[in-house]
Amino acid sequence: MDSRPRLYLCTAFLCGVLLTLGFKDVYPDLERRFRRRRVPINSIAGAGLAPKDHIDLEDRTKKINEADRHVVEIGEGIEACVGNTPLFRIKSLSEETGCDILGKAEFLNGAGGSPKDRVAFNMIKTAEEQGLLTPHSGDTIYEGTVGSTGISLATICRARGYLAHICMPSDQATEKSDLLLKLGAVVDRVPPAPIIDPMHFVNRARNLAADHTADPTRAGRGYFADQFENQANWQAHFEGTGPEIYQQCGGKVDAFVAGAGTGGTIAGVARFLKPKLPNLRVVLADPQGSGLFNRIKNGVMFDPLEREGTRRRSQVDTIVEGIGINRVTANFEAGRELIDDAIKVNDEEALAMARWLAEKDGMFVGSSSAVNCVAAARLARLSGPGQRIVTILCDSGTRHLSKFWTHAGDIGGRTDTKLSHILGD
């Protein structure tokens, strides 16, 4: 006769007794074993640790419960994701140069994915405070931009009840205008033209805003954001980016390196950090074709490729997008006297650095970030080991696939690139 049914009945009876009497009375150690179970880590798939290593589940639960007691403020809307971006050590560049080269991960701003989130949000808030914009009134924000500011504006416009009309040069990466269209912005891709041309993308945005306001048949007003001249630009970095860097570094920064398009980032950060850190070196990273290098080095605004006073070229002669310019802006001038030096970066160096960062660090960055990293690494080599250098990582390479990264190509399985190949030393 099969004895298994009898065994099952006996087991069930014994369990009932234990439950009735309580674990503690029948088997004092049993309660402790259930309450404080220790699980070998190597029982977790893929852990690969020795059996003696354990996870104390009770201790971990206690730590989690303690963390839960801390109240975390819940933000209001996507605007709450602007700012407070991480600062991290770029391992490959730091190890190669003997300096701490730190990247401020502005591509992790949660609205439009670049430092322009700070600028767009502050420009809109300031205009609202001045009575120039009213949410959900039909007001439209117009801006001339090579892409990132437009994306940030289009995102925050939607969040705050405005429409966005973006004018940009037609030679910019198409994924930028595609994203703008998905966000509901009107996009004008206009032929590249010098700033003196009425059809320059900035001038067109200004004129369209004025036409909107003057038209009684259109709802709302047209507001020209004017990122190049709007003081809310550098103030956003004075109030946000600069204090964050200072706090994250514990007040220890030897150099700050950044490129400039409007100039708001470098001006705002310099204006905050310099009074607190008098020995701080602020260094401009400038792509080829831009005149800002000469503005810092020689006090004049021209590029060697063109004579002073004849700036009629259609654009800055580089594949780098977002930084570099051949005119003076109010935002750049707001911090120009605080900039100590400038480093020129050519396209080949920027492309090589982008490949290096992907190869060595798994960082897939855009063109302006690559320029900043070249300048930071070169400054580290010139300064010697032991320095702490902070730079800006502006946006992801996903916005530069059709232009910059087409030139950069795929890194494949390479792991042998030398920094000297990039810097030429």
What does the buried/exposed string (b/e) look like for 146-171 if buried means 16 or more CB atoms within 10 Å of the residue's CB?
A: bbbbbbbbbbbbbbbebbbbbbbbee
Residue 415: how many other CB atoms lie within 10 Å:
8
For tokens 């801390």, the residue is 70
Cβ(260)–Cβ(134) under 8 Å?
Answer: no
| Rounded distance between C-alpha atoms, residue 374 and residue 390, angstroms | 12
Which residue has tokens 């990132």? 148
Please give the sequence-ordered ranges of beta strands (E in DSSP) within 272-397, or none if there are none: 281-287, 341-345, 388-393
Parallel/antiparallel/unpaired status of strands 222-224 and 281-287: unpaired
Q: Is 116 a catalytic residue?
A: yes
CA atoms within 13 A on the CB side of 103: 27
Could you tell me if 109 and 83 are in contact, meaning their C-beta atoms sit under 8 angstroms apart? yes
Q: Is the dihedral of CA 343, 348, 350, 353 positive or negative?
A: negative
The token duo for 337 is 């006297």
- Quickly tell me which residue has 């798939």 as its tokens: 45
Distance CA 87, CA 242 (A): 12
**CA-based angle 134:322:374, to the nearest 5?**
140
Partners of residue 105 on adjacent β-strands: 393
**Burial (Cβ within 10 Å: 0-12, 13-18, ≥19) of residue 287:** buried
**Beta-bridge partners for 39:** 55
Q: What is the number of alpha carbons within 13 Å of residue 424 lying toward its C-beta?
A: 7
**What letter does residue 107 receive in the DSSP assignment?**
G
Active-site entry in 24, 91, 104, 116: 116
Q: Rounded CA gap, 23 and 11, in Å?
A: 15
Q: What is the set of active-site residues?
A: 116
